[in-house]
Amino acid sequence: MKIAIVGSHGVGKSTLSRNLSKILNLPILPDIAAEAFHRGLPVNENTPLELQFWFFARQWEAEKYSEGGWIADKCLVDYSVYGDVLLSDQRAKELLSEMTRKNSQYDFVFYLPIEFSIEADGRSTDIEFQAAIDRHFLETLDTWGIKYYVVSGTVKQRLKRILEIIIENGEVV
C-alpha cells in the first residue's frame, strides 16, 4: 500500500505519518525537505529552482525504487505544488507538473487541512504563505483529478478516520 499524506507545511503530516507507520507497519519515505533544512539549505519561501528540482528528483527516486508499501509525508505532488507557488520560471513549473502527473501513483492520498498554529521549529511560520500553499494543494488535487480524502481533528481522530477509509476500500489493516 502506497500512502501519500499531503498538505502545507505545519499541518501535522510527519506526526501523523509516524503514528500511521507504527500501526500499518509500513516504512516512511525519507523527508527530503527536512534533510535539506537540517543541512542549512533554504526551504519554503526561499527555495531556489535548482533545489526544488533536487527535492523532486530525490522524492521520485524514493517513491519509484522503494520496495513494497510505504508512507510519504511529502510526495511528488508536494514538490510540484510548492514549485508552482514559489518559482517564477513557467517552463520549470510545467516540467514539475508534467513529471508529477506522469510519476505519482498512490493507493491513498490523505489531505490535511490547516487546523493548528505552525510550530516555531525553524521552518516558515508565515501563515499567508501556508494558506497559499494550502489553496494550491486543493486546486491541484482537484484539477488533476487525484482522489483524496480530507482528514481532520486530533492525531487520534485522523488516524481513526484513515484506518476506516483503508478498511472501507478493502485493504487489510
pLDDT, one tens digit per residue, over 81-116 is 999 998 999 999 999 999 999 999 999 999 999 998
Which structural domain range is residue 83 located in?
2-168
Domain assignment present for residue 43? The answer is yes
* Gap between the Cα atoms of 51 and 32, Å rounded: 11
Domain count, the chain: 1
Domain assignment present for residue 23? The answer is yes
CATH number at residue 86: 3.40.50.300
pLDDT of 121 higher than 80: no
Domain assignment present for residue 6? The answer is yes
Domain assignment present for residue 49? The answer is yes
Report in angstroms the alpha-carbon separations of 157 from 61, 65, 114: 32, 32, 15
Domain assignment present for residue 163? The answer is yes
pTM for the complete prediction? Answer: 0.93
* Gap between the Cα atoms of 13 and 34, Å rounded: 12
What region does 4 belong to: left with phi over 0, alpha with psi -120 to 50, or beta?
A: beta
Residues 6+ apart with CB under 8 A from 23: 159, 163, 173
Domain assignment present for residue 173? The answer is no
Domain assignment present for residue 84? The answer is yes
For 27-67, the pLDDT digits (tens) are 999 888 888 888 888 887 888 899 999 999 999 999 999 98
